[in-house]
């Protein structure tokens, strides 16, 4: 008779292969000593298992804040408005980065915010550049048309 004393824990927690489990059950049907040890382990396991998990007193907090979306009003900036926008842009770039709300991992949250803020600023600058370029082209066309008109009038 081969006792299963070394594998009692694996049997109770069902970590044996199907054939090993079958062999162990067969042995337990014949061996009082091994059967007693299995019963003791199972009894203690049952008592422990009856103690339930508890809910955490509060959720684990992670904050990944997103900056507010910018308005699309810049699309309609006039040249004068573009100058004002450029001044505003300078003020935005010169402003200090706001202090983050206290969070448990300051470094991670601050870096995430910095990255998002930089992305937003780059996005804004690109759009502003496109708006200024479009306005400049429109102004150039207007000037050319005015110059042509003046030339024609002068000739007349």
Q: Which of 30, 32, 59, 95 binds other proteins (CB under 8 A)?
A: 59
Looking at residues 5 to 24 of the shown chain, list those that interact with other proteins (rule: CB under 8 A).
Answer: 9-10, 13, 15
Asked if 68 interacts with other proteins (CB under 8 A), we say no
Asked if 102 interacts with other proteins (CB under 8 A), we say no
Looking at residues 31 to 50 of the shown chain, list those that interact with other proteins (rule: CB under 8 A).
Answer: 40-41, 43-45, 47-50
Q: Which of 20, 89, 110, 112 binds other proteins (CB under 8 A)?
A: 112
DSSP per-residue letters across the chain? ----GGGHHHHHTT-S-HHHHHHHHHHHTT-HHHHHHHHHHHHHHHHHHTS-----SS--------PPPPPSGGGG--HHHHHHHHHHHHHHHHSPPPPPPP-S-HHHHHHHHHHHHHHHHHHHHHHHHHHHHHHHHHHHHHHHHHHHHHHHHHH-
Please, which residue, 53 or 156, has the CB nearer to other proteins? 53
Residues that bind other proteins (CB under 8 A): 9-10, 13, 15, 40-41, 43-45, 47-62, 64, 104-105, 108, 112
């Amino acid at each position: 008779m081969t006792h299963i004393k070394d594998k009692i824990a694996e049997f109770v927690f069902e970590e044996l292969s199907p054939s090993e489990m079958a062999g162990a059950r067969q042995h337990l049907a014949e061996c009082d000593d091994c059967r007693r040890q299995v019963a003791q382990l199972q009894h203690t396991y049952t008592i422990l298992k009856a103690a339930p998990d508890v809910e955490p007193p509060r959720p684990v907090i992670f904050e990944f804040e997103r900056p507010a979306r910018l308005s699309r009003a810049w699309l309609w900036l006039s040249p004068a408005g573009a100058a004002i926008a450029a001044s505003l842009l300078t003020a935005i770039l010169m402003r200090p980065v706001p202090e983050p709300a206290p969070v448990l991992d300051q470094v991670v949250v601050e870096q995430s915010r910095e990255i998002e803020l930089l992305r937003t600023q780059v996005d804004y600058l690109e759009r502003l550049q496109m708006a200024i370029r479009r306005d400049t082209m429109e102004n150039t066309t207007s000037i050319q048309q005015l110059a042509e008109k003046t030339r024609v009038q002068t000739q007349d």
